[in-house]
Amino acid sequence: MEFDKRLENVAVIGAAGKMGSGIAALIGQEMAKLKLKPENKNKIFRLNLIDVSESALDGLRRYLRTISTKASEKSIVMLRDVYKDRADLIENWQVINEFTNEILSVMQFGTSINMAKDAKIVFEAIVEDKEIKIKVYRELNDLCSDETFYLTNTSSIPITILDEQAGLGGRIIGYHFYNPPVVQRLVEVITGKNTKPELVEFGTELGKRLRKKLVPANDIAGFIGNGHFMRDGLFAIQKVEEMKETYTLPGAIYIMNKVSQDFLVRPMGIFQLIDYVGIDVFQCILKVMKEHLGDETLNSDLVNQYVEKGILGGQRPDGSQKDGFLKYEKSRPVGVYDLEKGDYKLYEGWKDELDKKVGNPPEGFLPWRALLRDAKKEDKLSTYFSNLKKDESQGSDIARAYLLRTKEIAEGLVNQGVANTPDDINAVLTNGFFWLYGPINNYI
């Protein structure tokens, strides 16, 4: 079946979630473009957006209108050409409104999985739980045709297991968008043992049309992104456990968050990143990887304690950050949760003293944002890390250990066959996590 034919009827399961909503926005735009082609004038296009919550679907409708309008605004030059024969569309705002309505017209919303019955492509973006996913796939397999392709947004569960236990006959591929899908360029593509070549071809063409960077990962739990992120996070937690007797738990968390952001020149500190993903999601992925890899080190008592306390992080429907390891005001950290006291310890009164003990990043330091679009960032990073090698501050000492561990994790993923090349590892971390440099480097 040709690519465009498959996009005439598509379903997104878990459409109201933060990943499903972004996937819905991207696919809706692509379907609307196809619908406007002269040869498709009489064809019906349907994007079935399915979620368990009616109220969440209401929020999804509002989100998709906003995102579709923004997409239309960015595409005004292309749209002017598309609508060149429409004498009634004179002003830009009229063109924008017309295409926004075109996108929304292909969408239908509901809570019944039966809406996916005629879909030729199903995107699945539900909870990261193997048993729940398999149950849903079995229902879909009974409901949909034998030609339907499934693209799962799982970030850790092996594709072959989903395929074999749901009886999909190789019609499933891992297509892991990064959050948020409408912004992030990266899609990690995971081919299962039996994934059909035609599905791989479809995924490749879809990536081109959505202007995504596709990076292949082998079918080993956690894949590249979480294979690295989980272990990177566990290293920071290990250092916290070592330092908490000296600096208290909140103090140690603050130090590791500061070092991983400032000294390593990352967009956010490691504990802020775990909060962004969700502490409970971090725990869930660890459990999946531990189960399938048999690695007992893929566990954190500290993470488990925070989850038991109901301190989970994550984001609200409007994208704002919920409190987790850190407390946030206007998306900026202002404190750290103290397990013993059961409340947040605000920075005021103790942060400055810790900053003095940790020290400042060495000469040549520039924050992540200042280097993001700097044409000379590689030279500046090289100079900075050369100075970090020699710097004697406590922060630089921790940063050197962190850089070495980060590189060790990445090289391990290549050696274990998770990634095909070091370049694939670096591509995931620079594109998916917005690092300025890959973990496999010569800086340290």
**Which distant-in-sequence residues (6+ apart) come within 8 Å of 140 by Cβ?**
13, 113, 116, 122, 148, 150
Residue 111: per-residue pLDDT:
97
Residues of the chain with CATH 3.40.50.720: 3-217
**Phi-psi label, residue 303: left if phi above 0, alpha if psi -120 to 50, beta otherwise:** alpha
For domain 3-217, which architecture applies? 3-Layer(aba) Sandwich (3.40)
Residue 315: per-residue pLDDT:
87
Can you tell me whether residue 240 is helix, strand or coil?
helix
* Residue pLDDT tens, the chain, 444 long: 799 999 999 999 999 999 999 999 999 999 999 999 999 988 999 999 999 999 999 999 999 999 999 999 999 999 999 899 899 999 999 999 999 999 999 999 999 999 999 999 999 999 999 999 999 999 999 999 999 999 999 999 999 999 999 999 999 999 999 989 999 999 999 999 999 999 999 999 999 999 999 999 999 999 999 999 999 999 999 999 999 999 999 999 999 999 999 999 999 999 999 999 999 999 999 999 999 999 999 999 999 999 999 999 998 877 789 999 999 998 899 999 999 999 999 999 899 999 999 999 999 999 999 999 999 999 999 999 999 999 999 999 999 999 999 999 999 999 999 999 999 999 999 999 999 999 999 998
**Which distant-in-sequence residues (6+ apart) come within 8 Å of 387 by Cβ?**
362, 363, 364
Residue 227: per-residue pLDDT:
98
CA 384 – CA 401 distance, rounded (Å): 16
Tokens of residue 272, six digits: 């802020």
Can you tell me whether residue 41 is helix, strand or coil?
coil
Residue 318: per-residue pLDDT:
74
State the pTM of this model: 0.94
For residue 391, the tally of other CB atoms under 10 A from its CB is 19
